[in-house]
Amino acid sequence: MMPADDFVPGILLGSLAALVGGALVSESCRRRAFLRMLLPGLLLWRFGVFLFLVLWALPYYAEGRADAIAYHIKGLEAATAIRAGAWDRLRWEFGTPAFVIWTGLLYAPFGGNLTALYFVSMFVGLGAAISLYKAFALFGAPRQTRVYGLMMFFLPSYSMWTSIHGKDSWVGLGLGLSAHGYGLWLRGKAAKGVARLAAGMLVILVFRPHIAFLVAVAFLVSQVLFYGTAKAASWVQGTLTLVVLAAMLLGVGHLAKGFVGLQEVSVGAALARNDVGARGNAYGGSAVEYRPALSVTEVIRGLPAGIVKVLFRPFLWEAHNFNAALAAVENAWLVLFSLRRLGSLGRLVKHLIRQPYWTFSTALAIELVLVYSSTTNLGLLSRMRAQLLPFFLVPLVGFEDARCCRVVPGRVPHPSGYPNAVNKPSGLNL
């Protein structure tokens, strides 16, 4: 059953969300004409998604003990412990326990109201979309940037899953901040970029350490590829960057290893842990057939079907309820959008190695596809896809404009020495 909401705490928490979230969103849009133009429609769209979630999705999944309801109930207990100063009653662990504590912190000043938490998440998801747009705008041509922005702002699945009170919305914000921070760093705004990147990585690390590990890998991959193109004068800085990223990768990797329950770093242990996760998700009407992979060869053999499953399923004929039908319609559009760009894959590969942000996004998208390819629940995949789509769409949209990735003679290069990181103004004031 749906838990009863307290009216006064809801009004107080919702009002605070409107004031803080509205101010932050307005400030983010203030210097960009495209965002200012879209802002009324953006707010209206997200509010519509908010109503859909609280009036339809939340009651629909209430009997199945939706994650948000569990966070609400446990968050009330955590808020009571926080107000009493009983910090020893809280579970200080990454993942779900950390999110319960975060929910308790939101509830501690006013009390509990699940509807208000969804209202908070509405602004969290919108902030994630704006951050991703701003990151793309640092490198994309104006037309491609507008296309990418419209997708991030109005793509139904992304809007829905980043507006739900849960780890998905906050991890989405962490991914957006990390991507924008990396882009700013590449553009020479080191202090601002590192601050955003650190904040984003911290959010991801606290709630989903294994995703933080994948992001760190993508950062390192993009920097390693461009290390060889750096000028001799920047080798010291480039080497220092690689050392810092490698250290971050090792630290985050250690935390992620414990979080996912991997006893040792080996192929056998990874396959065994993957099998446990796949079997645990094979439930409900969205479950798909699962065949365990007993070797690396079998994993590789099953990758094509796994990739199609992650990116494009459920298909239209697999939809068995209203929510699945909505996902299937979007997936059909995604298939058509991807097929239109198959003919330009050669140009994508050619120019991908000239743009660190494009490479970072592509590497992260590939990692997420591989990690999620063994998931045995299409409903769960629809939710996970919200983390993948922003980065999967970056090369699909961005490679259409090869000029944004070209080394322009005579331009002052980015301080990192990477020739692709020249300060190109197009798209910055969209």
Q: Are 310 and 375 in contact (CB under 8 A)?
A: yes
Q: How far apart are the C-alpha atoms of 328 and 382, rounded to whole Å?
A: 9
Q: How far, in Å, CA of 241 to CA of 417, rounded?
A: 12
- Which pLDDT score, from 0 to 100, does residue 314 have? 85
Q: How many CA atoms lie within 13 A of 275 on its CB side?
A: 13
Name residue 146's amino acid. Answer: R
**Which residues does residue 320 pair with via DSSP β-bridges, in sequence order?**
none
Is the pLDDT at 68 greater than 60? The verdict is yes
pLDDT at 17 over 60: yes
Q: Which two tokens stand for residue 188?
A: 């020479």
- Name the residue with higher pLDDT: 426 or 16: 16
pLDDT by residue (tens digit) across 146-169?
A: 999 999 999 999 999 999 999 999
Q: Mean pLDDT, to the nearest integer, of 105-133?
A: 94
269 compared with 92, residue with greater pLDDT: 92
Locate the domains of the chain by residue range. Answer: 208-421
- Please give the pLDDT value at position 289: 65
The two structure tokens encoding residue 320:
């068995």
Q: Which of 138-142, 300-304, 350-354 has the highest mean pLDDT?
A: 138-142
pLDDT at position 198: 93
Say what the pLDDT of residue 321 is: 79
DSSP at 405: G
Could you tell me what percent of the chain has a pLDDT over 90? 42
Are 104 and 73 within 8 A, CB to CB? no
- Tens of pLDDT, residue by residue over 332-365, are 999 999 888 776 666 666 666 678 898 999 999 9
pLDDT > 50? residue 420: no
314 prior amide bond cis, ω within 30: yes
What integer is the mean pLDDT of 209-224? 90
Q: Is residue 280 predicted with pLDDT exceeding 60?
A: no
Model's pTM, two decimal places? 0.87
**Average pLDDT in the 241-255 region?**
76
322-339 helix and 378-398 helix, angle to the nearest 10 degrees: 30
Summarised one tens digit per residue, pLDDT across range 369-406 is 988 887 878 888 888 899 999 999 998 887 765 444 44
**More confidently predicted of 320 and 288:** 320
Banded pLDDT at 233 (limits 50, 70, 90): very low
Average pLDDT over residues 261-289: 54
C-beta atoms surrounding 236 within 10 Å: 11
CA angle 299, 304, 307 (to 5 degrees): 95
The confidence score (pLDDT) of residue 96 equals 93
